[in-house]
Structure 1
Amino acid sequence: MAKRDFYDVLGVVKGADAGELKKAYRKKAMEFHPDRNADNPEAEAKFKEANEAYDTLKDPDKKAAYDRYGHAAFEQGGMGGGGRPGGGQGDFGSAFSDVFDDLFGDFMGGQQRGGARSRAQRGSDLRYNMRVSLEDAYAGTQKSINVPTSVGCGGCNGTGAANGAEPQTCPSCSGMGKVRAQQGFFTVERACPACGGIGQIIKDPCGQCGGAGRVEKERSLSVNIPAGVETGTRIRLAGEGEAGLRGGPTGDLYIFIEVQQHALFERDGIHLHCAVPVSMASAALGGDIEVPTIDGGRSRVKIPAGSQSGRQMRLRSKGMPALRGAGQGDMFIELAVETPVNLTSKQKDLLKEFEKLGEDKNNPESSSFFKKVKSFWDGMKN
């Protein structure tokens, strides 16, 4: 049976570039992979056919020969279908490895196939949990913190090698930083055990850092806390994280804010709530009270006569500032009418007298409730 045209196999036009070929092969390989088509006996043949086509067309020299002579370029003692005498099945391990690297390379450390991993690796990002008071969150502040981290080694200037020596290419992986092993259809890659995936080795490591190019040290930093921060706010300090390995770039430091609970105020976004107890007499007769504000000031609030527990009053622009953008929240005063305790005999007598003089209109909620209770009981009797 005559072989199909390789461009038709991959579903691309003749002369397609490397990117189009890889994209087309990746699609075919995923479509006809034997593991995905256990019930389709024709899938494996199509899978091998796509592999052979891509293995030929991905190589510029083979592609040029195929474009000129077609399949005859690899027959009768020619290149042998993938560069091997008498071949024709293609080098699946090589071809599929290209697609594997393209799909999963970023999850394997961001390495590109065919190139060695950079000797220098970026330092890790660090996290620091900081607790601030509500007053500091309101006004903003500056905090000094001590962060244990890694810094570049001064003995080797971050190279990891003693006496200024240069790292050497790892002989085990030829500087690739990874080694491959063939397992059936698949080519499995793993970090080179000789160099730890760096691609280079240091024969004479620095005595201060042991070849890492960095040492542990505690650093003192000043952090600006903007006004309006909330619990969960994250502040990024670029370049203040862990030093890179063997001269690599430094990571970042992330400050995570936790705003402490306050004894007087409860926060709700940019708004504040304050529960204010008032006496029974003040709630009944009305009057003025002074309440605290988060900026340390005082505000006078008028209590209407006959106020009940739970009544709220708003103080505009007395809340928290918005972290991003203009504006400021409000402060809500919630009244809590306090029942008097530890009464003297005279106070008890006065309250009893007051109770005798009371009318339904003096306690409308109580009167309404007990009328409903009486109606409920009457209904149950009937």
Structure 2
Amino acid sequence: MKSRLGVLLLLAASLQVRAQLDNRPFEQRSKINPADSNSLFLGINTLGFFKNNEYFNDIADGYTLFGYQLNPYLSYNPAPNFKLTAGIYLQKDFGSDGYEEIAPTFSLEYLHGHTRIIFGNLEGSISHRLIEPLYDFEKVLNNRLENGIQVIVNKDHLFIDGWIDWQHMIYKGENDQEEITGGLSFNYNVLKTEQVRLWIPVQFLVKHHGGQIDSSPAPLQTYTNTAAGFKLEFTGREGSFIESISTDNYYVVHEDFSTEVIQPYEDGSGWYLNAGMKTKANIDFMTSYWRGHEFIPIAGGQLYPSVSSTFKSPEKVEEVRELLIFRFTHNLRVTDQLWLTTRLEPFYDMGNGNFEFSHGFYINYTTDFFLLRKRSHR
């Protein structure tokens, strides 16, 4: 108890923002401008990445991700509130032959007020704005594309993202199961003054393996992850080196509703406590404390579960997983379209008494170019 109290005191004293890391450079947001009606654009999304995980524990593997993503596309607005986008996605992992993934991309978007409906390729991955125990940052590097349907509401005081990602389709008689993931990311600003802001976030993920036309003997599997909490941010004084200080805190729950429980734990929970500081130098500091009890994430970071995802120790379990994570992030906005991001994330595994770390460097460039406008005929 004394050790945990010490951790919480350290967390509060460090008051270092963004319980969730500032992942804005990695978001790929599409916009529908009524003035672009009947216009054709050529666009490009690119990401160069290097992430090295120096992990030697029995829960998460250590490895390096090094390469780039390229997504050229054409977009056309047939109406003021409608947009079609088609392109191709390529991922190259350095040190391998050929491309790791080559896939077509296509989406239909409809805008009504502050609400967008997307069908096809979703604004997924980091753009869902989920906390790391629910959604692994590395999915933006190795599993970026999501396909299905999505509804997004984005206002100054409200963010809602609800989606269905259809990950694996089956056909009649296949010895396999369909795989679907859905989620909801909700963040409401309940208090906003010049100095103080308070948000109430609620996040939910559900994953289902099953189907009615398959021949697989595997049982139906349904898992959920839920997180709820609050974020409190204090704005620094004008001219101060510290732009803001904040704290995010979440209670996280895992539940298994499968017809036959095949995972080591049927349910679990965790506390995810964060304190952070954002500076004028574009450097963010953050301290995170995680204590999970029999927690199994659906798509969360590999450090957080009580079950192993390692190659060498796949059967390893830790009933209680307790981590203290320190994060240092530098986001350099070179232009409106170009970001350079550097991260260093050492952590202390309190249960095993080990210090380990990861570090990374990323280049994000996203832009589009006007090609032509269709003339109207009278």
Q: TM-score range by the shorter chain?
A: under 0.3
Greater C-alpha radius of gyration: 1
Larger RCO, structures 1/2 (Cα 8 Å, 6+ apart): 2
Q: Name the TM-score, length of structure 1 as normaliser.
A: 0.19
- Decide which structure has greater strand share: 2
- Decide which structure has greater helix share: 1
